[in-house]
Chains A and B, each alone.
Chain A
Amino acid sequence: QQQVKQSPQSLIVQKGGISIINCAYENTAFDYFPWYQQFPGKGPALLIAIRPDVSEKKEGRFTISFNKSAKQFSLHIMDSQPGDSATYFCAASGDYNNNDMRFGAGTRLTVKP
């Protein structure tokens, strides 16, 4: 059922560095691409989202880059902090099917102080 492939599976970054997580999707009907952050024992929380009419969206230290032709999108975390250590999920859905969200398998990010 997986229609969104996420990499890497785990990532270790030094404090202040840039964390980059990549996702690729198959279904061209997808038009909503969110990123979720999940801490242990908690549910996923929406971090940032993008629609395919723009190639980049930035919110604070978090940026989504979107390449519609390649069917790829990525999350960049600038100036990574230890508090960013969590599991990150990319996801995708269609506009009228937005509750059938297809998630990637997740990336466990560790930011070392």
Chain B
Amino acid sequence: DAGVTQSPTHLIKTRGQQVTLRCSPKSGHDTVSWYQQALGQGPQFIFQYYEEEERQRGNFPDRFSGHQFPNYSSELNVNALLLGDSALYLCASSPMRFSTLHFGNGTRLTVT
């Protein structure tokens, strides 16, 4: 039973560029959440997708957007990258009714 898978594992972008990160949820999960984890910090909630719609959003600017597909997989898009966007981006999936978040191993984004 595959867990949460994320791609790519590492990515280097230049300031001002755009990036797309991908996530496939754990089998049986229909809700996907994205978190940003800066170095030495705890994860911070970006947004949650359920039934292909953004349901909740944390304190992140509109440069951060997402999408959920009918097969429950999800994308995180970040536009106009800033140096401060360098972080580990974590995808977590869950069954809607339960609180257990299952995290992937993340995508390490470096903005130069």
Q: What is A's interface to B at a CB cutoff of 8 Å?
A: 1-2, 4, 6, 32, 34, 36, 41-46, 49, 89, 91, 93, 95, 97-106
Q: Which of A46, A89, A97, A100 has the most CB of B within 10 A?
A: A100
Contact A89 B33 (CB under 8 A): no
**Could you tell me if A42 and B41 are in contact, using CB atoms closer than 8 angstroms?**
no
Are A43 and B90 in touch, CB under 8 angstroms? yes
- Contacting pair A99 B42 (CB below 8 A): no
A105 neighbours in B (Cβ, 8 Å): 40-42
User: Measured between C-beta atoms, what is the minimum distance from A80 to chain B in Å?
Assistant: 22
Count the A-B residue pairs with Cβ separation under 8 angstroms: how many? 65
When the two chains form their complex, are residues A34 and B90 in contact, meaning their CB atoms are under 8 A apart? no
Report the Cα distance A41→B92, complex, angstroms.
15
Closest 8 CB pairs of A and B: A103-B42, A43-B103, A98-B99, A99-B48, A99-B33, A100-B45, A43-B105, A32-B99
22 A-B contacts (beta carbon < 8 Å)? A4-B42, A6-B42, A32-B99, A41-B105, A43-B90, A43-B103, A43-B106, A44-B43, A44-B90, A46-B100, A49-B99, A97-B56, A98-B94, A98-B98, A99-B92, A99-B101, A100-B56, A101-B35, A104-B42, A105-B40, A105-B41, A105-B42
